[in-house]
Amino acid sequence: MAQITLSGLRHSYSPNPQTPEDYALKEINLDWQDGGAYALLGPSGCGKSTLLNIISGLLVPSHGQILFNGKDVTRLAPDKRNIAQVFQFPVIYDTMTVYDNLAFPLRNRGVPEARVKARVTEIADMLEVSDILRKRAAGLSPDAKQKISMGRGLVRDDVNVVMFDEPLTVIDPHLKWKLRSKLKELHQRVRATMIYVTHDQTEALTFADQVVVMQDGDIVQIGSPVDLFERPAHTFVGHFIGSPGMNVLECEMRQGQVLVQGHAVILEGMATGDGGKTQIGIRPEFVRLGPGGLPATVRKVMDVGRHAVVEAMLGKVAVKAVVNGPVPEIGASTGLHFDPAMTRLYRDGRIASTAGGRR
């Protein structure tokens, strides 16, 4: 287990990169604590898999360093780094039994057979695959195969870090939930540093203590799931996390007042900075409908089960609100109330209001 430091990491797949667009990773500086559960979250093509492959050693970065416990491993081969990785599609050795699959990483390192047996039995127990240990791995279902892949990652107790590259992609939805909680439980039991790469916010937020949100090769925000949800540092994070995403509305700044479609809105705190394009951000969860407030017309109502998402037109812009209980009719006039403590200001996409009120 190890503390992982990424310093000044940049990577380009083209041999002589010219513009920032040539870089798949722009400039990454990160510190990950020993034993933490981290998630790398971002849309496809944001560079998260590149970053993962650099950490595992499958890729050598164009610039920068990776340190495990302060030791430079940037140019070390994957098998010398003592790491484990679980891939998007289950990788199993077809001709071996489940037991031999799990024992493979240990046997390759010359671990005595008695110790192999103890570890495999322990891991099989944790993953609840003890009853199929003698079976050929080829005939298993995809989720069982992925469990075996995870098991191979966890079987060595001296690994620096276990990495998961979108491991639940091929798993049926009803089993995803089971495997996700299994993974969380495993982390609590083995206490290895774990990095989980995904584009699925639910997976990232349920698994990780700290989520790193990436976009176009850049880190946009690092924070706990609650931080990301309540106070997105960038409108991208606001959009990307939450269902539906944050309402981001163009606004004007006039004499210290924030005007959205000509109506004054109260922010959480003071606006910082100057100039640029200004927007306010408010989560649909913190928009309340009722008499008074900003005048709006209900345009759409989507019932998503536990609550309804109401889309109302405030002047020319649509605002979404999460409504528990009775929903207004389409076409009805209503008032929008933004919770001031949850209303953020963004300048050119970055947060530009000081935290105030309740947090």
Partner 1 sequence: MKAVNQRAWFFVLPVLLLVAFNALIPLMTVVNYSVQETFGNNLFFWSGLRWFEDLLNSERFHAALGRQFLFTAIILAIEVPLGVIIALSMPRRGPWVSVCLVTMALPMLIPWNVVGAMWNIFTLPDIGLAGYFINETLGIPYDMTQNPMAAWITIIAMDVWHWTSLVVLLAYAGLVSIPDAYYQAAKIDGASNWAVFRFIQLPKMKQVLTIAILLRFMDSFNIYTEIFVLTGGGPGNATTLLSIDLVKLALGQFDLGPAGAMSLIYFAITLLVSWLFYTLMTKDDPK
User: Measured from the CB atom, is 84 or 258 closer to partner 1?
Assistant: 84
Give me the least distance between CB of 359 and partner 1, in Å please.
42
- Read off the tokens for 112: 């005595």
- Read off the tokens for 119: 């570890």
User: Measured from the CB atom, is 139 or 273 closer to partner 1?
Assistant: 139
With binding defined as CB under 8 A, does residue 16 bind partner 1? no
Rounded Cα distance between 117 and 135, Å, is 16
Chain centroid to Cα 93, Å, comes to: 30
Give the E-state strand segments of 33-103 in sequence order: 37-41, 63-68, 71-72, 83-86
Within residues 196-215, the interface with partner 1 by CB under 8 A covers none
* Contact range with partner 1 by CB under 8 A, out of 26-34, 63-71, 85-93, 123-131: 85-93
CB 129 within 8 A of CB 147: yes
> For the residues of 233-264, what is the DSSP string, one character each?
SBHHHHHHSSSS--EEEE-EEETTEEEETTEE
Q: According to CB under 8 A, which one of 10, 26, 63, 136 is a site residue for partner 1?
A: 136
Q: Which residue has the tokens 């300048």?
A: 347
With binding defined as CB under 8 A, does residue 264 bind partner 1? no
Q: According to CB under 8 A, which one of 139, 276, 290, 356 is a site residue for partner 1?
A: 139
Buried b (16+ CB within 10 A) or exposed e, 228-257: bbbbbbbbbbbebbbebbbbbbebeeeeee
User: Measured from the CB atom, is 101 or 278 closer to partner 1?
Assistant: 101
With binding defined as CB under 8 A, does residue 231 bind partner 1? no
- Read off the tokens for 11: 């990577």
Q: Please list, in sequence order, all residues whose beta carbon lies within 8 angstroms of the beta carbon of residue 205, skipping any fewer than 6 positions away.
A: 39, 211, 225, 228, 229, 241
With binding defined as CB under 8 A, does residue 88 bind partner 1? yes
Give the up-direction half-sphere exposure of residue 236: CA atoms within 13 A in the CB hemisphere. Answer: 17
Residue 68, strand partner residues? 4, 71
Give me the least distance between CB of 119 and partner 1, in Å please.
14
Rounded Cα distance between 138 and 286, Å, is 50
Rounded Cα distance between 202 and 179, Å, is 13
Q: According to CB under 8 A, which one of 118, 138, 264, 330 is a site residue for partner 1?
A: 138
* Contact range with partner 1 by CB under 8 A, out of 38-46, 72-80, 284-292, 293-301: 72-80
Chain centroid to Cα 265, Å, comes to: 31
Q: Where are the alpha helices (DSSP H) in 22-76?
A: 48-56
- Read off the tokens for 294: 């900003």
Q: According to CB under 8 A, which one of 36, 47, 61, 105 is a site residue for partner 1?
A: 105
With binding defined as CB under 8 A, does residue 93 bind partner 1? yes
With binding defined as CB under 8 A, does residue 94 bind partner 1? yes
* Contact range with partner 1 by CB under 8 A, out of 4-12, 65-73, 105-113, 315-323: 105-113
Give me the least distance between CB of 212 and partner 1, in Å please.
22
CB 336 within 8 A of CB 282: no
Q: According to CB under 8 A, which one of 108, 188, 255, 324 is a site residue for partner 1?
A: 108
User: Measured from the CB atom, is 117 or 277 closer to partner 1?
Assistant: 117
With binding defined as CB under 8 A, does residue 109 bind partner 1? yes
* Contact range with partner 1 by CB under 8 A, out of 30-38, 79-87, 219-227, 232-240: 79-87
User: Measured from the CB atom, is 87 or 177 closer to partner 1?
Assistant: 87
With binding defined as CB under 8 A, does residue 13 bind partner 1? no
Give me the least distance between CB of 79 and partner 1, in Å please.
4
Give me the least distance between CB of 153 and partner 1, in Å please.
8
* Contact range with partner 1 by CB under 8 A, out of 90-98, 125-133, 269-277, 327-335: 90-98
Interface contacts to partner 1, rule CB under 8 A: 56, 58, 77-79, 83-85, 87-89, 91, 93-96, 104-105, 108-109, 136, 138-139, 149, 152
